């Protein structure tokens, strides 16, 4: 398959994950609460594993171990920090989201920007190497599922009808495909390899500032063991994947 075909498939598949929020309407609240935090912990592990075991080594291999790689890493971290500071973008993974009640539209705007940046990163990864693109997509997808649970819950709690919430959440997710296509379009004139450390910075911020504090709030020993195991599993899966993608 051509690189463009891979990017189109990856973009459509990632955008479709926005519909996962519909699952929340079919699960008992107790069941949803039981599975969400281990899922968040798994996502945190895959984000850090993808950033440190795949994206940064690939960026250094393609661009050299120079300062620019790490500047782009920090830039990716700071962009998501800025989004969260100025757009009040939060990934609320718990059932109580009352603090986000007035933020439905901002959630969609920020999520659209986040997805566009993610699309740039994944599209750039596919341009660099198809195998790296696939790993980057899988890491991003692992994070996207719990995020979409949270975003859908925020919209519903803010008074949006379920069909409207799904439709608009999907529309904001389509910016991922747009970003991936932009990365492909400019790959002939711009060094898209720098999108790899940029995306790694995104992933590190999300895991460190957003997801890990969530799972650290667990108080019961059983819950702590479950989330810790899920987090380590995420890291282990991405470490093992280095052998597959090499």
Residue 32 falls inside a structural domain: no
Mind listing the pLDDT tens digit for each residue in 38-82? 877 887 888 898 889 888 988 898 889 999 999 999 998 998 888
Task: Give pLDDT < 70 ranges for the chain.
Answer: 21, 24-25, 27, 29, 32-33, 86-107, 110, 143, 146-154, 156-158, 243-246
Predicted confidence at residue 245, as pLDDT, reads: 53
Residue 43 falls inside a structural domain: yes
Per-residue 3-state assignment (H helix, E strand, C coil) for 44-103: HHHHHHHHHHHHHHHHHHHHCCCHHHHHHHHHHHHHHHHHHHHHCCCCCCCCCCHHHHHH
Is 41:218 a contact under the CB 8 Å cutoff? no
Residue 189 falls inside a structural domain: yes
Domain count, the chain: 1
Residue 103 falls inside a structural domain: yes
Q: Which domain covers residue 240, as residue numbers?
A: 3-17+38-245
d(CA 55, CA 45): 14
Q: Cβ contacts of residue 181 below 8 Å, gap of 6+?
A: 7, 8, 11, 119, 123
Residue 123 falls inside a structural domain: yes
């Amino acid at each position: 398959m051509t690189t463009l075909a891979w990017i189109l498939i990856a973009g459509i598949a990632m955008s479709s994950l926005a519909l996962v929020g519909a699952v929340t309407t079919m699960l008992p609240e107790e069941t949803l609460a039981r599975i969400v935090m281990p899922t968040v912990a798994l996502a945190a592990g895959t984000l850090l594993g993808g950033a440190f075991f795949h994206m940064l080594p690939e960026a250094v291999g393609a661009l050299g171990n120079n300062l620019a790689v790490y500047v782009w890493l920090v830039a990716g971290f700071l962009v998501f920090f800025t989004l969260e500071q100025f757009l009040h973008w939060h990934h609320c993974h718990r059932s109580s989201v009352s603090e986000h009640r007035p933020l439905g539209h901002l959630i969609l705007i920020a999520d659209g920007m986040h997805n566009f940046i993610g699309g740039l990163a994944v599209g750039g990864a596919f341009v660099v190497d198809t195998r790296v693109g696939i790993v980057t997509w899988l890491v991003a997808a692992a994070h996207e599922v719990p995020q979409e649970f949270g975003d859908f819950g925020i919209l519903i709690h803010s008074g949006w009808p379920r069909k409207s919430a799904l439709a608009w959440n999907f529309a904001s997710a389509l910016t991922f495909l747009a970003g991936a296509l932009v990365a492909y379009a400019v790959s002939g004139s711009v060094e898209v390899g720098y999108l790899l450390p940029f995306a790694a910075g995104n992933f590190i911020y999300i895991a460190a500032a957003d997801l890990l504090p969530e799972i650290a709030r667990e108080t019961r020993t059983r819950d702590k063991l479950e989330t810790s195991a899920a987090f380590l599993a995420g890291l282990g899966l991405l470490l093992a994947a280095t052998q597959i993608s090499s």
